[in-house]
Amino acid sequence: MRYKKINRQLFIENRKRLVKELKPGSVAVFNSNDIMPTNADGTMKFRQNSDLFYLTGVDQEESILVICPDYPEKKMREVLFLRETNETIATWEGHKLTKQEARERTGIETVLWTSEFHRVFNTMMVMGGVENVYLNTNEHYRADSVVQTRDSRFIAWCKEKYPLHRYERVAPIMARLRAIKSKYEIELMQKACDITATAFKRVLKFVKPGVKEYEIEAEFMHEFLRHGSRGFAYEPIIASGADSCVLHYIQNDKACKSGDVLLLDVGAEYANYNADMTRTIPVNGRFTKRQKDVYNAVLRVKRAAYTLLKPGMVYFDYHKEVQKIMEGELLKLKLLDKTDIKNQSPEKPAFMKYFMHGTGHHLGLDVHDTGNMFAKMKEGMVWTVEPGIYIKEEGLGIRLENNVVITRNGLHDLMKHIPIEAEEIEDLMHSA
Ligand code: GLY
Ligand code: MN
Ligand code: MN
């Protein structure tokens, strides 16, 4: 792996937390992700199932975790099944985890090959005192994929073979657990943010009129890979000029023009954990007065948002308050006037013309991480804070985004070392 060995205590403690949430007489099963196809015999880069990774640290395809806390034999209460390697696999794909390596990485004593799965699982189901079967589904509130995962194939198989067991959803439990980050996870996320910071500083010196958006993308990638990241946490948005107002612009194919802003929504992945940063910079190294006024308005909203994020807050209430603050800034910028506010409909308030997205989301093993958006915020949660103002009629979009941990003593900003003041950005751009 490119990342440094992770303290296996992370995975041991995560499994302990999961076991506490299961009903007596239960089994829980987690499958790895498939290696997804492209065309012909091509494949995408492998991305482990986040829940399986969270519970094991195994970053390998065709792996299965079974947790059966009340199984009579202690050593079978946690079993990891792995793809058995052979000479052909070793020749073409290289090294796969040995049982001993997997034990060391995960802290799971019983590691078997997947060829033994059906026999072992059947014994658990019919003789292991199992009544409840917890299976994993992708219940992210914005997931709309039609792809059948290994987990969903397993659900179909399991329910057909064992129709009279009781089936339970493990996803709400995983969402609750994963929303609260441990100190090990915060360290990994800090590393992802640090790599992002280094790359951003490199880019500040690189950007000038005429440079292509994809050249900037390459600068980020260069720095990410050099530091043990496997690449972008998500498709990077490198949007100059009017495209700074296109929220999901990913073409990144234009030359940057003097006088335009450049919106960079880019984050590094590290050990499957993610950073999610946005900065907006002037292509020629100096913001115009108008750009700076809008920039500072967004920065003030971001700072105000920080004061609201605390344990007990509910995202939607927080978002409403941020929208109110944004409305005030839009009035000051004369983008809205009192009449716009008076005539607005509750379904489509006036500020939505310029600030039409959320203020943030959970961040972790997934960029839009699991976590119930209606639940109260708690210590240990990591949220993005990402207000923006998008003025299509001026071809000017500004967004600023940091990643913060909610703690008992206020916010811990994982991106506090990433330049954000307009003048600081300008100085760094001129210090090449
Ligand atoms: N980069 C994705 C987001 O900001 O939500
Ligand atoms: Mn982002
Ligand atoms: Mn984000």
Provide the CATH number for the domain around residue 232: 3.90.230.10
Give Rg (Cα) of the chain. Answer: 24
Question: What secondary structure does DSSP assign to 83-106, as a single string?
Answer: PPP-HHHHHHT-----HHHHHHHH
Place of tokens 């992945």: 269
Nearest-CA residue for atom 2 of ligand 1: 276
357 is catalytic: yes
165 and 18 in one domain?
A: yes
166 and 277 in one domain?
A: no
Question: Which of the listed residues 145, 179, 213 is the one where a domain comes to its end?
Answer: 179
Question: Which of the listed residues 179, 210, 245 is the one where a domain comes to its end?
Answer: 179
Low-confidence ranges of the chain (pLDDT < 50): none
216 and 333 in one domain?
A: yes
224 and 94 in one domain?
A: no
Q: How many domains does the chain have?
A: 2
Active-site residue identified among 249, 273, 390, 426: 390
128 and 71 in one domain?
A: yes
Distance 327 CA to ligand 3 centre (A): 21
352 and 387 in one domain?
A: yes
Place of tokens 């109260």: 376
Quote the pLDDT of residue 146. Answer: 83
Nearest-CA residue for atom 5 of ligand 1: 368
Question: Which of the listed residues 126, 144, 179 is the one where a domain comes to its end?
Answer: 179
Distance 401 CA to ligand 3 centre (A): 7
Give the span between the Cα atoms of 429 and 432, in whole angstroms: 6
Q: Which residues of 27-42 are buried (b: 16+ CB within 10 A; e: fewer)?
A: bbbbbbbbeeeeeeee
Supply the angle between the helices 9-21 and 183-206 in degrees, to the nearest 10.
Answer: 120
Q: Kind and range of the H or E element at 304?
A: helix 289-308
Residue 336 lies in a domain: yes
Q: Which two tokens stand for residue 169?
A: 């959803």
Residue 265 lies in a domain: yes
Distance 262 CA to ligand 2 centre (A): 14
361 is catalytic: yes
243 and 229 in one domain?
A: yes
Q: Which two tokens stand for residue 119?
A: 């026999």
192 and 165 in one domain?
A: no
Quote the pLDDT of residue 181. Answer: 98
Per-residue model confidence as pLDDT tens digits over 374-384: 999 999 999 99
Q: Does 386 contact ligand 1 (Cβ within 6 A)?
A: yes
Distance 314 CA to ligand 2 centre (A): 21
187 and 175 in one domain?
A: no
Quote the pLDDT of residue 129. Answer: 93
Q: Does 234 contact ligand 1 (Cβ within 6 A)?
A: yes
Q: Does 329 contact ligand 1 (Cβ within 6 A)?
A: no
CB 351 within 8 A of CB 327: yes
CATH number at residue 158: 3.40.350.10
Residue 3 lies in a domain: no
Active-site residue identified among 51, 269, 329, 401: 401
197 and 161 in one domain?
A: no
For the CA atoms of 81, 84, 90, 92, what is the dihedral angle to 10 degrees?
Answer: -80
Residue 85 lies in a domain: yes
390 is catalytic: yes
Residue 397 lies in a domain: yes
**Exposed, middle or buried by CB within 10 Å (0-12, 13-18, 19+), for 88?**
exposed
Residue 246: what are its φ and ψ, rounded to 5°?
Answer: -95, 110
Nearest-CA residue for atom 3 of ligand 1: 276
Residue 355 lies in a domain: yes
Residue 107 lies in a domain: yes
Quote the pLDDT of residue 432. Answer: 61
Q: Does 185 contact ligand 1 (Cβ within 6 A)?
A: no
Residue 1 lies in a domain: no
Distance 311 CA to ligand 3 centre (A): 20
225 and 144 in one domain?
A: no
Domain hosting residue 27, numbered range: 9-179
413 is catalytic: no
392 and 291 in one domain?
A: yes
DSSP-assigned beta bridge partners for residue 411 = 406
List the Cα angle 381/397/351 in 5-degree steps: 75
Q: Does 265 contact ligand 1 (Cβ within 6 A)?
A: yes
Ligand 1 atom at shortest distance from the alpha carbon of 234: 1
**Residue 431: CA count within 13 A, CB half-sphere:** 10
Q: Give the pairing type, strands 78-82 and 64-67.
A: antiparallel
Q: Does 59 contact ligand 1 (Cβ within 6 A)?
A: no
